[in-house]
Structure 1
Amino acid sequence: DPGVRSVLAYWLSLCAADSLFTCPSSCKCNSGSLEVDCSGLGLSSIPSDIPTNTRIFLFLNNKLSTLPGPVFSNLSALQRLDLSNNFLDQLPQNIFSDLGNLTELQLRNNSIRTLDKDLLQQMALLRQLDLSINGLAQIPSGIFDDLPALRLLSLRSNRLQSLDRVTFEPLVSLQQLQVGDNPWECDCNLRDFKHWMEWFSYRGGKIDQLACTLPKELRGKDMRMVPMEMFNYCSQLEDENGSTVLDNSGPPCTKGSPTPSKSKSGTEPEVEPSVGCPQKQRYRPVSVRRAIGTVIIAGVVCGIVCIMMVVAAAYGCIYASLMAKYHRELKKRQPLMGDTEGEHEEQKQISSVA
């Protein structure tokens, strides 16, 4: 009977699918959605018997601290990977190289301090990336070059002090960026990224508050609300220290970075801080105060000009009203002056007749 054969074929296909999707021990699985959930089990390593056709793999709230290189090599069908709330501190360069179908990667709340610039290669379908609550101090340039489909990126609660706009320009599909709760230094190193943020907001992107930590004059203020005039000193700084900035190919200057040994000369010890950070600490607060003073002076001058214009307008109105009143009085007196002249003429005629 054809009907019986079709039913038997259907059940055989289901049995074959179930046999191919074998759930690892202690984990929960869903053969319909091809999901494997090994969350909250206190595991320190990823099970080796994950089905190769798994599409969703959840490994939250465990004790995972390292990832062996080939751990995901057989999971090319994976679309969602969540490794949040673990103890990962370093990610191998090619750890995700076989996950070409991945659309969501969650690495929230780990101890990741550095990222390799080639970490996210071969992931052109990735749409969501969560790197929040880690120890990232910088984002390497080029790490997002192969993510044209990325829509949501979270970098919240790290140790980021500055970002480079060149790193984010390849994210043509980005719709939401989360950068809050970082110790941002709103200086020249963040100026170009401020331009990118304004462009990103202009084209409809959503970004949370990028609150400044330093300098103290801008502490707590959103970087997007800081006037660009506050960074006019950056051009002066680049002109005066152009050779030093161009020759500096090392890591970004930070407060904790050691000063080079060549600066420790016995003749000029006072020049030592400006070699590692080319007068950054000296110029920044002075320039900020100068910019604030310029804004205050401009406001006072504009106020004085406005007051003078109001006084001049009031004086003109008063003068016009007085002149109008004077002319009205003058017109009233002109007929009376004509009558007196007629009386004088009559008196002269009477005296001549007599």
Structure 2
Amino acid sequence: MLDLAQRIVFCALLGSVYASCPPRCECSEAAHTVKCVSRDLRSIPTGIPGYTRNLFITGNQISRIGPESFKGLDNVTNLSLSNNRISEVESYTFAGLRSLRSLDLSNNQLAVIHPQAFTVQNQSLRELNLSRALYNHSSVMDLATSLRWSSLGTLRGLDLSDNSLIYLPSRIFCHLSSLQRLQLSNNSLVAIHNSTFSGLENLQELDLTLNALKTVPEEGLRELDTLPGTALLLGENPFTCKCGIEPFALWLNRSQGRIRDAEGLMCAFPASMRNVSMLAVGTLTLGCHQRNAGADLALQTSYVFLGIVLGFVGLIFLFVLYLNRKGIKKRIYDMRDACREVWEGYHYRFEIDSGPRLSQVSSGGDM
């Protein structure tokens, strides 16, 4: 019995050592959770227990993370690093987290994202939250490179909302073949171009709400049509309902089944069209074709009127010529006689100057 009791005490002591909690953190072995929240940490703490599956290190002052930050944490499944002011993520930072499925880097200031920053062994990562994570919109180029080079072939959800993105590089998501949910809400995207969503054959939901889309041109419509199985959210965009938006309006009506907020899409500009349903916008509402037909008719009418005026002026001119035909004829004869006299004078002078005999007589008389 004594040996058994000693063994139990020894195991308890050993377990307590194994399950020691880092300073300024809270650990729960029963919940497999460690929380280091708002403790003014400058780096990822060491000594995190190996049983940890849920690791929350948030609200601190950590500026950089690298491969040495998460060693020995093979069991971590959910990792939250939000609101830490992280500005740099090195390549292979999360490579040792071979069980990682969810990574939250939201509310940081990522200015430098290395090419393989999100690589995880076994490609276990399923959810990546980068909402409010980019330092500015120029960081999207680093992000595009990292999404291309990191092993994210099994990623299911990507959140890029609230990042002030103005544009998306071509084929930025082409290596995320398993992606099912893409959140791009509350950015400043002004257009959808060809190959923007290339490679997203399995995408189920695309959120484009609260951007700066005034319309979606035909190029963008073709791009969205490459995602026939994707549910779309397009609300809270400043759609400008003027001539030229008809193809987009017709596309919305044709694609209502896949646009979850189609009924709520409204015109924002001009003021006369504000709060008019985008589904109701068409040639009848805008009157573009009617105005174009009217403009064509007015142009044709002006051409006809100009032809009539010119014809009338020509008739008057011919009539004036007819009335003054005698005077005109006399002037023509006078001009002909004057020209003839001038010509004869020049001809006479030429003969005098060129005749040899006349030239000798002229020279002898001079002598």
Task: Classify the TM-score, shorter chain.
Answer: 0.5 to 0.7
- Between the aligned partners of 1:130 and 1:149, the Cα distance in structure 2 is 15
Aligned counterpart in structure 2 of residue 152 of structure 1, from 151, 154, 157:
157
CA deviation after TM superposition for structure 1 residue 298, in Å: 10
Aligned counterpart in structure 1 of residue 289 of structure 2, from 300, 314, 322:
300
Q: Does 1:184 align with 2:173?
A: no
Aligned counterpart in structure 1 of residue 43 of structure 2, from 42, 45, 49:
45
Equivalent position amino acid for 2:62 in 1: L
Residue 113 of structure 2 aligns to a residue whose secondary structure is coil
Q: In structure 2, do the counterparts of structure 1 residues 11 and 122 end up closer, same or farther at CA, with 3 Å as the change threshold? A: same
Residue number in structure 2 paired with 1:56: 54
Equivalent position amino acid for 2:190 in 1: E
CA deviation after TM superposition for structure 1 residue 27, in Å: 1.3
Write out per-residue CA displacement over residues 32-72 of structure 1, whole angstroms, 9 at most, x where no aligned residue: 23221111222222222222342221111112222254121
Q: Does 1:66 align with 2:64?
A: yes
- Between the aligned partners of 1:68 and 1:86, the Cα distance in structure 2 is 14
Equivalent position amino acid for 1:21 in 2: A
- Between the aligned partners of 1:59 and 1:141, the Cα distance in structure 2 is 26
Residue number in structure 2 paired with 1:81: 79
Q: TM-score, normalised on structure 1?
A: 0.54
- Between the aligned partners of 2:74 and 2:198, the Cα distance in structure 1 is 38
Residue number in structure 1 paired with 2:130: 131
Asked whether the equivalents of residues 185 and 211 of structure 2 are also in contact (C-alpha less than 8 Å), the reply is no
Larger-Rg structure:
2
User: Residues 100-249 of structure 1 correspond to what in structure 2 (within 5 A)?
Assistant: 100-123=98-121, 124-134=123-133, 135-137=135-137, 138=140, 139-141=143-145, 143=147, 146-164=151-169, 166-186=171-191, 190-193=193-196, 205-213=204-212, 218-219=213-214, 221=215, 226-228=216-218
Asked whether the equivalents of residues 59 and 82 of structure 2 are also in contact (C-alpha less than 8 Å), the reply is yes
Equivalent position amino acid for 1:98 in 2: G
Asked whether the equivalents of residues 117 and 146 of structure 2 are also in contact (C-alpha less than 8 Å), the reply is no
Q: In structure 2, do the counterparts of structure 1 residues 25 and 171 end up closer, same or farther at CA, with 3 Å as the change threshold? A: same
Write out per-residue CA displacement over residues 276-320 of structure 1, whole angstroms, 9 at most, x where no aligned residue: xxxxxxxxxxxxx9955999699627x98xxxxxxxxxxxxxxxx
- Between the aligned partners of 1:212 and 1:162, the Cα distance in structure 2 is 11
CA deviation after TM superposition for structure 1 residue 78, in Å: 1.9
Write out per-residue CA displacement over residues 133-158 of structure 1, whole angstroms, 9 at most, x where no aligned residue: 02253132462552232222100111
Residue 71 of structure 1 aligns to a residue whose secondary structure is helix
Asked whether the equivalents of residues 173 and 198 of structure 2 are also in contact (C-alpha less than 8 Å), the reply is no
Asked whether the equivalents of residues 116 and 143 of structure 1 are also in contact (C-alpha less than 8 Å), the reply is no
Equivalent position amino acid for 2:187 in 1: N
Asked whether the equivalents of residues 83 and 107 of structure 1 are also in contact (C-alpha less than 8 Å), the reply is yes
Residue 182 of structure 2 aligns to a residue whose secondary structure is strand
Equivalent position amino acid for 1:112 in 2: L
Asked whether the equivalents of residues 175 and 199 of structure 2 are also in contact (C-alpha less than 8 Å), the reply is no
Residue number in structure 2 paired with 1:316: none
Write out per-residue CA displacement over residues 311-331 of structure 1, whole angstroms, 9 at most, x where no aligned residue: xxxxxxxxxxxxxxxxxxxxx
Residue 68 of structure 2 aligns to a residue whose secondary structure is helix
Residue 75 of structure 2 aligns to a residue whose secondary structure is coil
Write out per-residue CA displacement over residues 80-112 of structure 1, whole angstroms, 9 at most, x where no aligned residue: 211101111111123222122211111010111
* Number of residue pairs aligned between Structure 1 and Structure 2: 230
CA deviation after TM superposition for structure 1 residue 168, in Å: 1.9
- Between the aligned partners of 2:220 and 2:101, the Cα distance in structure 1 is 40
CA deviation after TM superposition for structure 1 residue 193, in Å: 1.8
CA deviation after TM superposition for structure 1 residue 210, in Å: 4.8
Residue 193 of structure 1 aligns to a residue whose secondary structure is coil
- Between the aligned partners of 1:45 and 1:160, the Cα distance in structure 2 is 29
Unpaired segments ≥5 residues, structure 1: 233-288, 305-354
User: Residues 327-342 of structure 1 correspond to what in structure 2 (within 5 A)?
Assistant: none
CA deviation after TM superposition for structure 1 residue 192, in Å: 2.1
Q: In structure 2, do the counterparts of structure 1 residues 13 and 151 end up closer, same or farther at CA, with 3 Å as the change threshold? A: farther
- Between the aligned partners of 2:194 and 2:96, the Cα distance in structure 1 is 37
- Between the aligned partners of 2:181 and 2:82, the Cα distance in structure 1 is 20
Residue 192 of structure 1 aligns to a residue whose secondary structure is coil
Write out per-residue CA displacement over residues 259-291 of structure 1, whole angstroms, 9 at most, x where no aligned residue: xxxxxxxxxxxxxxxxxxxxxxxxxxxxxx995
Asked whether the equivalents of residues 78 and 102 of structure 1 are also in contact (C-alpha less than 8 Å), the reply is yes
Asked whether the equivalents of residues 91 and 117 of structure 2 are also in contact (C-alpha less than 8 Å), the reply is yes
